[in-house]
Amino acid sequence: MTTMLRRLITDETGVITAEVAFYVPIAALIVCLLWAFGATASASSAVLHAALDAARAASHAPDAGHARAEASRVAQEILHEHDLRCRTLTVTVDTSGFTIPVGQPAQVSVEVTCLITLADLYVPGVPGEKVLHEHQISALDTFRTRT
């Protein structure tokens, strides 16, 4: 009798099933969180890339008007290449460097702000929005004519 009772108490039948039922949802949750963080980091990197290229394009423009237009065009193009859909996209260009006389150092700065929906990042079931913001500066050629 005691042998049968001991066998019932120490019997491990079904333990693997219980462990799988416990650990699989936890592992799935961790994978989903990693996916969400990776997708957000990728989107942030795309906005940084857009700001860098927009600032560079603005610094090569012949005047302030062209600099603003070129920076906006390049930022939109880069975000489109990265397949990042911004609900609102704001490209702000500081072209005050074009007023500095030739021979003195000057710069152009660009701010790119993109509001994204987390569901657009292919993260199913994650509600909400995130604002991605980057600011970059590019030097103007010191001895090039500025208008």
Average pLDDT for the chain: 88
- Rounded to whole angstroms, how far apart are CA atoms 95 and 141? 13
Residue 136 CB-half CA count within 13 A: 20
* Torsion angle, alpha carbons of 125, 36, 115, 108, to 10: -170
Coarse DSSP helix, strand, coil percentages of the chain, rounded to the nearest 5 percent? 55, 20, 25
Kindly report the number of other CB atoms within 10 A of residue 122's CB atom. Answer: 11
Q: Which token pair is 115?
A: 């509001």
pLDDT in tens, 24-81: 889 988 987 888 888 889 999 999 999 999 999 999 999 999 999 999 999 999 999 9
pTM beyond 0.85 = no
